[in-house]
């Protein structure tokens, strides 16, 4: 499942390439079918990523050796 390792941006870029290639219609039927399969998988994986996305908010502070230290950010609304 190579498609799952791609970042969202890479997946979207590839998906857009695939749609363009399919619409240009210059590939063989075999190529088109495999592009179609890849495209629908990418679309599904992107949808899933969107669906499952939950905003994470971290507050960063500088550690003793300059490294960033993450902790959840709790908002104190005025």
Whole-number CA gyration radius for the chain = 20
Find the binding residues for other proteins in span 18-57 (CB under 8 A): 18-19, 22-23, 25, 29, 32-33, 36, 39-40, 43, 46-47, 49-50, 53-57
- Token pair, residue 76, equals 């104190």
77 binds other proteins (CB under 8 A): yes
C-alpha 45/C-alpha 6 separation (Å) is 10
CB of 1 to other proteins, least distance (A): 19
C-alpha 78/C-alpha 76 separation (Å) is 6
67 binds other proteins (CB under 8 A): yes
* Cα four-point dihedral sign 45, 3, 17, 40: negative
| Site of interaction with other proteins (CB under 8 A) | 7-9, 12, 15-16, 18-19, 22-23, 25, 29, 32-33, 36, 39-40, 43, 46-47, 49-50, 53-62, 66-68, 70, 73, 75-78
């Amino acid at each position: 499942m190579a498609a799952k390792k791609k970042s969202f941006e890479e997946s979207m870029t590839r998906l857009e390439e695939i749609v363009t290639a399919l619409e240009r219609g210059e590939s063989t039927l075999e190529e088109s079918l495999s592009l179609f399969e890849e495209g629908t998988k990418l679309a599904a994986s992107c949808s899933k990523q969107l669906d499952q996305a939950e905003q994470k908010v971290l507050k960063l502070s500088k550690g003793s050796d300059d490294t960033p230290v993450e902790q959840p950010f709790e908002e104190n609304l005025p």
